[in-house]
Amino acid sequence: MLRLLLVLIFVLIYLILGIPVLFVEWLIGRSRPDGASDLRQLRMVQWAFRVILFLSGTKLTVIGEEHVPKDAPVLYIANHRSYFDIIITYARCPRLTGYVSKQSMKKVPLLSIWMKRLHCLFINREDTREALKTILAGIDNIKNGISMCIFPEGTRNKSDEMLPFKEGSFKMAEKTGCAIIPIAITNSAEIFENHLPFIRSANVIVEYGEPIWPRELKAAGGKKTGVACQEAILAMLNSHNAS
């Protein structure tokens, strides 16, 4: 219970004290629209996420991070078992990145403000038209040099079997031509979800796969993008479980 309390106290203090800083950065960003303010905000959040991982006792083994381009936006896609998946992956993004989150997160006080400032988007999967608007906004972000991350299972998965990937999740890469970086996250549910309400120390493996190019898949007349990406992630997960 101590780990949970420490994490909750830190998050609350950070969100409250961070609002004045966020406001100042917003003012700077308006007067100097060069993206530097957005990048500083990203680094602040990444620092906070690293503190949360430290307080939770999470130990990371990172594989294949060299596959992530540093000079171009990408679409990250990953399996999703834990709330900590966002914290783990976002803490390692080398460039400005927005996440696609469920619509309900838009109602969370303070946190939603930070998310909006960091180009995160909120998707309503129950409304096809609204979901399409979110995907189109993600396409615009990538065209403007901002990477995006989405969990294509559509929800946090509570079983060991991955849910089918939603093909609409990949339109952001298909329409912009950016690379897709598959991420396999192993054992993240051991931090929190597998023994609610406690946070426990856990060893988590994060593996970045080689870039997948939707246009190359299409030109080759092969599998759908979602199927190819899910197979890539599943292969990485199986290699972790076998070791």
Secondary structure of 151-178 in HEC code, one letter for each residue? CCCCCCCCCCCCCCCCHHHHHHHHCCCC
Joined tokens for residue 6: 């420490």
Residue 206's DSSP bridge partners are: 62, 185
pTM as predicted: 0.91
Joined tokens for residue 132: 């399409």
- Using DSSP, state whether 215 is helix, strand or coil: helix
pLDDT tens, position by position, 178-190:
999 999 999 999 9
pLDDT of residue 110: 83
pLDDT tens, position by position, 135-186:
999 999 999 999 999 999 887 887 778 888 988 889 999 999 999 999 999 9
- Using DSSP, state whether 206 is helix, strand or coil: strand
Map out the domains of the chain as residue ranges.
Answer: 58-242
Q: Spell out, as residue ranges, where the chain has pLDDT lower than 50.
A: none
Backbone Cα Rg of the chain: 18
Q: Buried b / exposed e across 71-80, counting CB within 10 Å, b at 16+?
A: eebbbbbbbb
The architecture in CATH of the region 58-242 reads: 3-Layer(aba) Sandwich (3.40)
CB 21 within 8 A of CB 113: no
pLDDT of residue 33: 67
pLDDT of residue 220: 65
Question: How far apart, in whole angstroms, are the C-alpha atoms of residue 240 and residue 243?
Answer: 5
Residues in contact with 237: Cβ distance below 8 Å, sequence separation at least 6, in sequence order = 79, 162, 184, 186
Residue 215's DSSP bridge partners are: none
